[in-house]
């Protein structure tokens, strides 16, 4: 089921009187029914955000703890499978991650433990080795940075998945407190700083990457902020404003999904830029394959969501990951990007093209996604 059709079902459950009144006017008008106009504030209206979202804030902290356990292998260190399994099972992640992604995590932590105990990774003997350390990172035998696949994948397969699930489970009954939970799962606070470098309440998780894909004068992050504000305002007004509330929520979820796709595109651009140079040095290869691992992670986590939670079919998603040499749930052939860049990087560009087609990104947006706008604008 296409995600847009899925979300329409939520709206279709509204009382007929509300739907009828919404049909009076095609304009985006706050007063599109018989209820009084609601003033939408410029800032997110939540004085009790931390208490309302406490469980989701704790959940994001558990994801960080699991990631830290994996990143302990960076810099030439060894981690054991038992320690990684303990870190995984100590969190709520096994119960709150999209089911298709759980076996992938369990496989990758095994590969990480094996690779961390090996020596220096040799790209040109892959995949006939145990993986190993290359510069400051750890790569599996297949040349994929395990920690990036799991960490960035969980942004989609756990955080975005839980947001979608909360909306699907509660539908029109979403409360103002529920909107606070969605904000926390996105990785930000009522401050919405549009920067992961803010002195106070910096963005984290997907909010961090959505900010990087957003110019200061407009884009996905700022659109999401506005839709979060609308959704919470209408939720606080009660059931008479369900139509406006759900419209804002659905727009926000669409932009959240696009930010995952846009971030995938950003890292694929970097992969091409780094690995297409003549005779890249080790640092350049590390940068390129690190970016590649992040791109695979972001998109794999999105694909792991049920079909109704995303805008593309299983076939489309699997096709994109095959172009990325990382078919979902199978051993990747990532090492080929280093061994045969002239033959392989064209498929990485084809994956970008497929994502552009699915999300109808303009050529200018695709170009803009190459940049980290937080750094570009010094914010």
pLDDT in tens, 301-330: 999 999 999 999 999 999 999 999 999 999
**What is the pLDDT, as a whole number, of residue 287?**
98
Residue 35's pLDDT band (boundaries 50, 70, 90)?
Answer: confident
Tell me, what's the pLDDT at 30?
Answer: 41
Rg (CA), the chain: 21
Mean pLDDT of the chain: 92
Residue appearing with tokens 């990485």: 348
Rounded mean pLDDT, 218-237: 98
- Give me the pLDDT at residue 343, please: 96
pLDDT digits (tens, 9 = 90+) for 244-270: 999 999 999 999 999 999 999 999 999
Q: What pLDDT score does 33 carry?
A: 53
Stated length of the chain: 379
Least confident of 26-40, 109-123, 298-312: 26-40
| Average pLDDT score over residue span 235-244 | 97
Between CA 130 and CA 238 the distance in angstroms is 57
* Residues 59-80: tens digit of each pLDDT: 999 999 999 999 999 999 999 9
CA–CA gap between residue 293 and residue 296 (Å, rounded)? 5
- pLDDT at residue 27 above 50? no
Q: Is the pTM of this model over 0.85?
A: yes
Residue 170 tokens, joined: 């509660």
Q: pLDDT band for position 11 (50/70/90)? A: very low
By the 10 Å C-beta count (0-12 exposed, 13-18 middle, 19+ buried), 61 is classed as exposed
pLDDT of residue 16: 31
Which of 72, 71, 95 is closest to 293 using CA atoms? Answer: 71
Give the pLDDT score at 98. 98
Give me the pLDDT at residue 220, please: 98
CA atoms of 120 and 94, how far apart (whole Å) = 32
Query: 177 with 337: CB under 8 angstroms?
Result: no
* End-to-end Cα distance, the chain: 39
131 Cβ partners below 8 Å, 6+ apart?
A: 111, 114, 115, 118, 121, 138, 139, 140, 141, 142
Task: Name the token pair of 168.
Answer: 């699907």
The CA-atom distances, in angstroms, between 260 and each of 18, 168, 194, 280, 298 are: 33, 20, 16, 28, 6
Tens-place pLDDT, residues 180-212: 999 999 999 999 999 999 999 999 999 999 999
Dump the DSSP string for 219-271.
SHHHHHHHHHHHHHHHHHH-GGGHHHHHHHHHHHHHHHHHHHHHHHHHHHHHH
């Amino acid at each position: 089921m296409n995600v847009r059709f899925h979300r329409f079902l939520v709206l279709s459950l509204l009382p007929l009187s509300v739907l009828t009144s919404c049909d009076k006017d095609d304009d985006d008008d706050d007063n599109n029914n018989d209820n009084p106009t609601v003033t939408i504030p410029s800032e997110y209206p939540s004085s009790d955000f931390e208490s309302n979202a406490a469980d989701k804030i704790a959940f994001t902290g558990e994801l960080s703890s699991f990631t830290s356990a994996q990143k302990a292998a960076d810099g030439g260190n060894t981690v054991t499978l038992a320690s990684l399994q303990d870190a995984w099972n100590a969190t709520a992640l096994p119960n709150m991650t999209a089911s298709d992604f759980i076996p992938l995590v369990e496989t990758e932590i095994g590969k990480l433990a094996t690779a961390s105990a090996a020596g220096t990774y040799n790209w040109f003997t892959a995949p006939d080795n145990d993986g190993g350390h290359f510069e400051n990172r750890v790569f599996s035998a297949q040349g994929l940075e395990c920690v990036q696949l799991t960490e960035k994948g969980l942004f989609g397969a756990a955080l975005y998945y839980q947001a979608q699930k909360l909306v699907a489970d509660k539908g029109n009954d979403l409360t103002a407190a529920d909107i606070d939970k969605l904000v926390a799962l996105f990785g930000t606070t009522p401050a919405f700083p549009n920067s992961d470098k803010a002195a106070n309440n910096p963005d984290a998780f997907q909010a961090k990457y959505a900010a990087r894909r957003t110019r200061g004068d407009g884009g996905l992050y700022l659109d999401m902020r506005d839709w979060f504000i609308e959704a919470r305002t209408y939720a606080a007004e009660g059931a008479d404003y369900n139509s406006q509330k759900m419209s804002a929520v659905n727009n926000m979820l669409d932009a959240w999904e696009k930010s995952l796709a846009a971030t995938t595109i950003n890292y694929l651009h970097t992969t091409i830029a780094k690995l297409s140079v003549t005779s890249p040095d080790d640092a350049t290869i590390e940068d390129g394959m690190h970016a590649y691992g992040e791109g695979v992670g972001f998109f794999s986590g999105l694909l792991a969501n049920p079909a109704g939670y995303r805008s593309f079919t299983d076939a489309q998603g699997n096709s994109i990951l095959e172009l990325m040499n990382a078919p979902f749930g199978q051993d990747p052939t990532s090492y080929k990007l280093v061994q045969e860049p002239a033959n392989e990087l064209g498929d990485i560009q084809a994956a970008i093209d497929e994502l552009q087609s699915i999300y109808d990104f303009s050529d200018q947006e695709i170009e803009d996604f190459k940049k980290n706008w937080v750094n570009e604008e010094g914010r």
